[in-house]
């Protein structure tokens, strides 16, 4: 009996917090899912605000769990969770960065071109501006 | 801004004598399947050799499939004498303006309909 009491955790001592740590990971993973579902909202697509909300909440839960339960696996889950947040932030703001376009910024007149359209008919810039202004939309293509 | 979303801009632009043309590095047959699928009211032009991208300074080196060059997403309004009236480039890949935002930017620059 005395031995058992000695081995029992003290009242304010370590708690088992594996489940909260896992819950934190689930919350974080909801972030990118929310991002995909909210792509139609330009502000959220650009900033990832909804996703960051979920991911920061997930990290807070995981870190609290690791503070309450110092076991390696709980701390590892907190580190993984913070890693997810950093990876998402990297993808949103570093990997996704477009190159500077100084030449485009300084063009005064649109350079002439003649390109084939989807039906392989040649179309020139002057064809396009024959009736009025043309909005040229450069996009990355489909693959 | 996805190509299909530009339909509403094309309609409003057409009422002012203007039009849209999309440009990508895709070959015409690939563009045709996209064009048919989205039933676009404007052409997709094929800058396969990237000469137009280079002339406009919109090459994103090595960012395409297999490390090929693709366009930096950009929109510009050109008037009939070739002058650029308005331009916009994406700073981030997910930076796509809404069609209404594009129209709000270009509408005041167009001759009154």
Sorting pLDDT into bands at 50, 70 and 90, what band is A1? Answer: very low
Does B21 map to a domain?
yes
Q: Give the three-state DSSP class for B69.
A: coil
Whichever domain contains B7, its CATH number is 3.40.30.10
Does B106 map to a domain?
no
Pairing between β-strand A134-138 and β-strand B70-71 as defined by DSSP bridges: unpaired
Chains A & B: contacts with CB separation below 8 Å: 207
Does B8 map to a domain?
yes
| CA distance, residue B41 to nearest chain A CA (Å) | 12
- Cβ separation B90–A98 shorter than 8 A: yes
Mean pLDDT (whole number) for A120-133: 96
- Answer yes or no: are the C-beta atoms of B20 and A137 closer than 8 Å: yes
Tens-place pLDDT, residues A59-75: 999 999 999 999 999 99
Instruction: Read off the DSSP letter of residue A97.
Output: B
Does B77 map to a domain?
yes
Does B22 map to a domain?
yes
pTM score, two decimals? 0.84
The Cα–Cα gap between A29 and A40 comes to 20
Task: State the best of B57, B81, B83 to mutate against chain A, taking most chain A CBs within 10 Å.
Answer: B57
- Answer yes or no: are the C-beta atoms of B111 and A132 closer than 8 Å: yes
Tens-place pLDDT, residues B22-46: 999 999 999 999 999 999 999 999 9
| CB-CB neighbors (< 8 A) of B44 in chain A | 117-118
Domain count, chain B: 1
Tens-place pLDDT, residues B2-14: 788 999 999 999 9
Task: State the best of A137, A140, A142 to mutate against chain B, taking most chain B CBs within 10 Å.
Answer: A137
| CB-CB neighbors (< 8 A) of A48 in chain B | 94
Does B110 map to a domain?
no
B92: containing domain: 3-101
| CA distance, residue A142 to nearest chain B CA (Å) | 7
| CB-CB neighbors (< 8 A) of B6 in chain A | 137
The Cα–Cα gap between A21 and B101 comes to 42
* Chain A residue with Cα closest to B15: A132
The Cα–Cα gap between A44 and A31 comes to 12
Structure token digits, residue A11: 């009242």
> Could you tell me if the ipTM is greater than 0.90?
yes
Does B107 map to a domain?
no
Q: Which uninterrupted H or E stretch holds B75?
A: strand B74-78
Does B58 map to a domain?
yes
Structure token digits, residue A35: 């991002």
């Amino acid at each position: 009996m005395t031995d058992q009491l000695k081995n029992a955790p003290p009242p304010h001592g370590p708690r088992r917090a594996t489940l909260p740590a896992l819950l934190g990971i689930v919350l974080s993973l909801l972030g990118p899912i929310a991002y995909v579902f909210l792509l139609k909202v330009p502000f959220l697509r650009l900033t990832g605000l909804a996703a960051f909300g979920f991911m920061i909440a997930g990290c807070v839960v995981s870190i609290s769990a690791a503070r309450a339960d110092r076991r390696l696996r709980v701390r590892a889950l907190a580190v993984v969770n913070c890693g997810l947040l950093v990876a998402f932030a990297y993808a949103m703001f570093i990997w996704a960065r477009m190159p500077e376009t100084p030449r485009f910024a300084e063009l005064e007149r649109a350079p002439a071109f003649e390109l084939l359209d989807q039906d392989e008919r040649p179309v020139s810039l002057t064809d396009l501006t024959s009736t009025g202004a043309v909005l040229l939309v450069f996009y990355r293509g489909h693959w | 801004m996805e190509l299909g979303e530009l339909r509403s801009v094309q309609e409003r632009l057409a009422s002012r004598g203007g039009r849209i043309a999309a440009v990508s590095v895709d070959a015409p047959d690939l563009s045709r399947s996209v064009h048919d699928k989205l039933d676009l009211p404007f052409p997709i032009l094929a800058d396969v050799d990237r000469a137009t991208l280079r002339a406009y300074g919109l090459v994103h080196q090595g960012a395409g499939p297999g490390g090929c060059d693709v366009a930096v997403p950009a929109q510009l309004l050109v008037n009939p004498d070739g002058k650029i009236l308005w331009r916009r480039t994406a700073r981030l890949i997910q930076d796509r303006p809404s069609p209404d935002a594009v129209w709000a930017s270009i509408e005041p620059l167009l001759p009154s309909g």
